[in-house]
Amino acid sequence: MTRGLVEEFGPERVRDTPISEEAIAALGVGAAMAGARPVVEFMYADFMALAMEPIVNQAAKIRYMFGGKARVPVVFRAQEGAGRGNAAQHSQSLEAWFCHIPGLKVVTPSTPADAKGLLVTAIRDDNPVVFLEHKLLYNTKGPVPAGEHAVPFGAADIKRAGRHVTCVGIHTMVHKALAAAETLAREGIELEVVDPRTLVPLDIETILASVRKTGRLLVTHEAYERGGVAGEIIAQVVAAAFDWLDAPPVRLCGRNVPIPYNGALEMAALPQADDIVVAARQLVA
């Protein structure tokens, strides 16, 4: 994840740290206020729980509290997600925590090209950005534009076009939705797969345009369902495009349980491509 960085930029700028998450995050915030542009790497997003104070009470609020007289250009980077048997303390998807906090931007790339383009934008942004990758997607292969490649925040990407059901997915769920779309296509059901790419800011216009076309909405993420981002997206769509909906929107999310170690239980705790297929069939029925 950080391979080659120290060789390219040197040990002065690329530092190994003691295991001190709160301090690392807080130093990032302070350094950002004082003119640096730090990227703070946490490994597992679960460990960000130890650093919530500097992220939530400091970084997110400093500009506003100080009457717009400060900038906090820091990136908090971590991997989230389940699927490898890492169990309850190394598998969570915690993006909703950060979406809840005004002042933070939240990024969730699902492809190699987006990961590059969004990370560039995150580092250039003058605000604190929480940059969350999915650990299973590190092995994803895909074309990556060489040289300058910046993906703007607040621009969703339609990963597959379709006329019948809009499926908004985050991280691995984009890929599971694409797999489901193949199955559904053989039945004549066209799934439109929308990847918001950034959750704050959220490109609700692209989602609304898709829903106005399909009349059906399915939102899916690995994060726990209760209080998750799917609820927020559905609320916004219902408020803005209620008359365009032909069926109640559906969310397919992680179950409201800690991620279990056992393989079959872990699979059952997470939404799968088959769940999307079944839900899409019911939406068009």
Which residues are at the interface with ligand TPP (CB under 6 A)?
A: 19, 21, 43, 47, 50
Q: In degrees, to the nearest 5, what angle opens at C-alpha 252 toward C-alphas 249 and 254?
A: 145
Kindly name the residue from 80, 90, 95, 232 that is annotated as catalytic.
90
Query: Starting from the edge strand earliest in sequence, which strands make up the sheet with 129-134, in order?
Result: 39-44, 75-80, 129-134, 105-107, 198-200
By CB under 8 A, tell whether 255 contacts another protein.
Answer: yes
Q: How far is CA 269 from the centre of its chain?
A: 18
By CB under 8 A, tell whether 57 contacts another protein.
Answer: no
SS3 52: helix
- Nearer to ligand TPP by Cβ, of 41 and 203: the residue is 41
Active site residue 21: yes
Q: Which stretch binds another protein (CB under 8 A): 80-88, 105-113, 118-126, 227-235?
A: 80-88
By CB under 8 A, tell whether 138 contacts another protein.
Answer: no
In angstroms, give the least distance from the CB of 58 to another protein: 15
**196 touches 236 (CB < 8 A):** no
Q: What is the DSSP string of 189-242?
A: PPEEEEE-SEEETT-HHHHHHHHHHHS-EEEEEEEESTT-HHHHHHHHHHHHHG
By CB under 8 A, tell whether 22 contacts another protein.
Answer: yes
- Nearer to another protein by Cβ, of 13 and 84: the residue is 84
Q: What is the DSSP string of 94-155?
A: -HHHHHTSTT-EEE---SHHHHHHHHHHHHH-SS-EEEEEEGGGGG-------S---PPTT-
Active site residue 133: no
Site string for another protein, 2-21 (x = CB under 8 A): --------------xxxxxx
- Nearer to ligand TPP by Cβ, of 77 and 175: the residue is 77
- Nearer to another protein by Cβ, of 22 and 275: the residue is 22
Among all residues, which ones are annotated catalytic? 21, 90
| Contacts to another protein by CB under 8 A | 16-23, 46-47, 50, 84-90, 255-258, 260-265, 268-269
